[in-house]
Structure 1
Amino acid sequence: MQPRNMSMSGAVDLSAVKAAAEAKQKAERARSQRAAQPGGQQAAAATRLVIDVDEAGFEQEVLQRSAEVPVVIDFWAEWCEPCKQLSPILERLAEAYAGRFVLAKIDVDQNQMLFQQFGVQGIPAVFAVIAGQALPLFQGAAPEPQVRQVLDQLIQAAEERFGIVGAPVDPEQAAAAGEEAAGPPQPPANPTLAAAHAALDGGDLAGAIQAYENVLADEPGNLEASIGLGQARLLKRVQEADPAKVRKAAADKPTDVAAQLAAADLDLVGGHVEDAFGRLVSLVQRTAGEDRDAARVRLLELFEVVGPDDPRVISSRAALSRALF
């Protein structure tokens, strides 16, 4: 999915920290103190760039730290397949940006209060906190180039608005830390799968679809390829759609299968997962024959995009079974 909801104006003020002006002054004092210490900026190399945060440590690890460096929050869960795609990208970029931001990982199953406080609608969801202000960045898995673009905007805004530039880590030490975190060498990735990902990231949807299909021809159970194929097909379907026309057609023709399928695609791309699933389950209930089968197949395809372990998929599968039987 493409990043959504990037907005530097929709900040939610978190009252646990002081105003932005004071945060800026605090950041300037902290940078001066670090520069005066033996080793200067190299002392920042000890900063943890990826941290696990819970409710008890949120104020210190996120709110207080956000006065000195942008903190990017990754809301995730163990059962969330899209999270397993996005989290490694964010962790890799935290190392690559070498201290320009800190990544805070929050397990939503263990931290429901934070999940509710931020108004998270679905996961993965990515927020940032700068000088105590929470900013929604995007929801859903996204390719690395688009995540980089969002991070670059975030870092620029942090510097221009609050004077917060982070604490760049010594490149050699950051590289060593990255190698240590990576662990032992991994076996080479499937080159066809890698080519499929590259095509998807580059916007070559037809090429991505073909490459994912090639992977699945050899490995029918490859979950990563199945999810990628579903994403590529979905993006290709909505690529040239006029959202206003699609919405109007769906509203005017509630029994038109093609119109409802197109609207469900837009629902999902827009992050309205429950709406997309509910629309198609309802379509299955009120159709028969080929129309019902078309709605059922599209719903199963969207299940693959979101991930089989997502609770919204699980509940919608049950609703689909009730509609069919």
Structure 2
Amino acid sequence: MPNFPFRLAKVVRRFVAFLASIAVVLGLSACGGNSTASNSDKPVVLTTFTVLADIAKNVAGDKLQVESITKAGAEIHGYEPTPGDIRKAAQADLILDNGLNLEAWFAQFVEGLDVPHAVVSEGVKVMDIGEDSYRGKPNPHAWMSPDNVQIYANNMAKAFAGLAPEHASEFEANAKAYNSRLQEVKDEMVSKLSVLPENHRALVTCEGAYSYLARDAGLKEVYIWAVNAEQQATPQQIARAIGFVKDNQVPAVFCESTVSDAPMQQVVGATGAKFGGVLYVDSLSEADGPVPTYLDLIRHDAKIITEALTGGTA
């Protein structure tokens, strides 16, 4: 067992971090009071990742202060909270979760906190993961759908109304205006893709993170692997993707920004399909990057997909 010392050290580090987090929470509980995470006198809303934070800012307007636990570019599936994250959570007035098993990494640390939270995916028509060890579990990437994010925005407006009822009508109006912009993105995407023949109506990606976007767009979702893991892209998975692209003469394939596109480039080399571009899923970019807001993200992905599949003629 040559890796035992390394594994033991990793377990010890995590246990120490957990004890530190508990100490932080106990200390904050003794001090009492929320909204101390900021100098602002506005109620503080804490989200688990940057996509939710941006949507929440559009709904909240200038009436609430919205923050994200994870930073821009972070891989959210395996994130490990720090004592500083627990401090933020203990001092928040409301925590927003995506739900659908996405934030298991955070729930274990905040379950004992006396802070209300809302699950923003509540009411979404859930799609299950189709294979691997995750088969049958909900696909958590529900925000990759303009339709679903309209539900997210409405859920946020309701949660914010409970936090600041004097601004309830403003939150509702903000959500309605934001949802109109989301609907425009979906309608344009569907219209442009309508020219595709049936066998070309496929979204082929590295990870199976685009189920909801494919459903919105009327595309068949095909992927190399179902969920990001330490070891990805077996020869069998690549061969399956190659077979589908060849059989259906799919004109373009894609990969997301947080993983290597090397496996998909093998599909490109074996089929002659075009590599359509990089798609974004789990995180926004920095302010000067390509997708600093959720609307930028979904517009970017819709544009890359429609132009690559239609040859730019849509």
Q: Same fold (TM over 0.5)?
A: no
TM (norm. structure 1) is: 0.36
Q: Higher RCO, 1 or 2 (CA under 8 Å, sep at least 6)?
A: 1
TM-score scaled by length of structure 2? 0.37
Of Structure 1 and Structure 2, which has the larger fraction of its residues in helix? Answer: 1
Larger Rg: 1
